[in-house]
């Protein structure tokens, strides 16, 4: 099997969509020889910030000398982006070998696995064959019934910021969603983002039931020191750190990662070095200048609240043009409430997803709210138009969906900007 055939095989089951449960992947992994039992794991769940936090932790573990796998989702352009070892993306031949093994193992299963289950199994297989010491494993959705939760007890469980997303599957309140995410608790240490009191109580109760030692990151001991467009420095629990990621929310994500790293026994110098080296595309990422062009994957009200705050902090006097595309099943009306007050103008596009909202419909709603807006016929055309509207002294921020971020980055970086 080659890379193209592997992609075709994975796409062949994409129609199954989301089917929570561990029965199918458990059977598939047993047929593969249970590769998920070979590595040690750090398991990360949450609504927002789990990708950034996972990437920070993986960088710390690599800096400490561990061969470290990282599994995240979704990808921006290539499915192989989801699986990395010591920061290096899975090679195409790696995916081909993993999916070939999956295809043989899956023959004769009574119920087919979903695309995410297959990708998760492929990741376990590859990380085991690559000899990883640790794998930082990001939950796809929820936690309790997510395919990643087939692993044994992790060395550390991590819960990032919890908010409302995927409510049709996980529940209509933050407390119900927290209960699902706490399903990754299996005993041992856990680190968590400091939540609201009611959400924190759900996590505390789940930790007590499972014998998990839960530690909330103490944000009262988090002190910003400096910030510019190259990154930010801060002090947390008496130690000084620097990260390249922008936005106040990333300081809190870093504090959670540091809390987890200390529970894992990672040396202080490796924690600092790992944070310094962390790179995470499409998270308030400046990809070009003159005008500044920021790519941000914010896709729910909680995410774009952080985006709007970062725009005001980092670009207080700039003309701000938003390049915006959203999925129809997201709370995009609330996202507009948050983003439009910091926008001079909006260019609307349609993300590459069958769930995407039409650009003309989004544009009409923005115009109804009194903000200048226009729809572009493609993402590439939208990028070019937004740059023209911003002018050399302005800023463009692409926001609304990770499903468009990869195409936006590719168009900008392909120009050599």
Would the pLDDT of 15 be above 90? no
Residues 6+ apart with CB under 8 A from 41: 134, 135, 136, 137, 151, 152, 154, 155
Cβ 83 vs Cβ 71: under 8 Å: yes
- Residue (of 117, 137, 118) closest to 127 by Cα position: 137
Q: To the nearest whole percent, how much of the chain has pLDDT over 90?
A: 81
**Quick one: average pLDDT of 382-406?**
94
Q: For all residues of the chain together, what is the average pLDDT?
A: 93
DSSP conformation letters of 152-210: ---SEEEE-B--S-SHHHH-SSHHHHHHHHGGG--SEEEEE----HHHHHHHHHHHHHH
Would the pLDDT of 416 be above 50? no
Residue of higher predicted confidence among 44 and 109: 44
Q: How confident is the model at residue 168 (pLDDT cuts 50, 70, 90)?
A: low
Would the pLDDT of 277 be above 80? yes
What is the distance, to the nearest Å, from the Cα of residue 417 to the centroid of all Cα atoms in its chain? 25
- Which uninterrupted H or E stretch holds 289? none
- Buried-state track 243-277, b at ≥16 Cβ within 10 A, e below 16: bbbbbebbbbbbbbbbbbbbbbebeeebbbbbbee
pLDDT the model gives residue 142: 86
> How confident is the model over 45-104, as pLDDT tens digits?
999 899 999 999 999 999 999 999 999 998 998 999 999 999 999 999 999 999 999 999
**Residue 156, token pair as written in the block:** 């550390």
> How confident is the model over 352-375, as pLDDT tens digits?
888 899 999 999 999 999 999 999
Q: How far apart are CA 335 and CA 354, in angstroms?
A: 20
Query: What number of H helices and E strands is found in the chain?
Result: 15, 17
> How confident is the model over 21-33, as pLDDT tens digits?
899 999 999 999 9
DSSP 351: -
Would the pLDDT of 108 be above 90? no
DSSP 253: H
pLDDT the model gives residue 417: 40
Would the pLDDT of 165 be above 70? no
Would the pLDDT of 18 be above 80? no
**Quick one: average pLDDT of 184-200?**
95
Residue of higher predicted confidence among 415 and 239: 239
> How confident is the model over 297-355, as pLDDT tens digits?
888 898 899 999 999 999 998 899 999 999 998 899 999 999 999 999 999 999 988 88
Q: How far apart are CA 115 and CA 203, in angstroms?
A: 29
**Residue 34, token pair as written in the block:** 């249970």
User: Strand 292-295 and strand 395-399: pairing?
Assistant: parallel
pLDDT the model gives residue 228: 92
Cβ 1 vs Cβ 100: under 8 Å: yes
- Average the pLDDT over each of 68-72, 108-112, 197-201 and give the range with the smallest value: 108-112
- How many Cα atoms are found within 13 Å in the side-chain-facing hemisphere of 201? 5
């Amino acid at each position: 099997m080659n890379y193209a055939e592997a992609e075709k095989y994975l796409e062949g089951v994409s129609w199954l969509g989301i089917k929570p449960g561990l029965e199918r992947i458990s059977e598939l992994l047993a047929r593969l020889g249970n590769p998920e039992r070979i590595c040690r794991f750090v398991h990360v769940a949450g609504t927002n910030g789990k990708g950034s936090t996972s990437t920070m932790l993986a960088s710390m573990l690599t800096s400490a000398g561990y061969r470290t796998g990282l599994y995240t989702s979704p990808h921006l352009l290539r499915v192989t982006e989801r699986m990395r070892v010591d920061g290096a993306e899975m090679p195409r031949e790696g995916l081909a070998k993993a999916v070939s093994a999956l295809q043989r193992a899956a023959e004769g299963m009574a119920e087919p696995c979903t695309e995410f289950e297959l990708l998760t199994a492929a990741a376990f297989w590859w990380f085991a064959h690559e000899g990883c010491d640790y794998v930082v494993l990001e939950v796809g959705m929820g936690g309790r019934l997510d395919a990643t939760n087939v692993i044994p007890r992790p060395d550390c469980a991590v819960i990032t910021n919890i908010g409302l997303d995927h409510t049709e599957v996980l529940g209509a309140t933050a407390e119900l969603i927290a209960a699902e995410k706490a399903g990754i608790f299996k005993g041992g240490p856990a680190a968590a983002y400091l939540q609201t009191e009611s959400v924190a109580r759900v996590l505390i109760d789940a930790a007590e039931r499972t014998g998990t030692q839960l530690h909330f990151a103490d944000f009262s001991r988090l002190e910003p020191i400096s910030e510019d467009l190259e990154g930010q420095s801060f002090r947390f629990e008496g130690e000084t750190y620097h990260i390249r990621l922008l936005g106040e929310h990333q300081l809190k994500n870093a504090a959670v990662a540091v809390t987890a790293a200390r529970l894992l026994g990672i040396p202080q110098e490796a924690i600092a070095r790992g944070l310094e080296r962390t790179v995470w595309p499409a998270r308030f990422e400046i990809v070009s200048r003159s005008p500044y062009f920021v790519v941000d994957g914010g896709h729910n009200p909680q995410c774009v609240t952080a985006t709007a705050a970062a725009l005001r902090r980092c670009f207080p006097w700039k003309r701000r043009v938003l390049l915006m595309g959203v999925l129809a099943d997201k709370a995009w009306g609330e996202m507009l409430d948050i983003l439009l007050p910091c926008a001079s103008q909006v260019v609307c596009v349609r993300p590459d997803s069958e769930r995407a909202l039409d650009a003309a419909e989004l544009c009409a709603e923005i115009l109804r709210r009194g903000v200048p807006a226009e729809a572009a016929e493609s993402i590439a055309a939208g990028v070019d138009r937004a740059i023209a509207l911003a002018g050399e002294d302005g800023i463009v921020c692409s926001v609304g969906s990770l499903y468009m971020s990869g195409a936006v980055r590719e168009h900008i970086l392909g120009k050599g900007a």
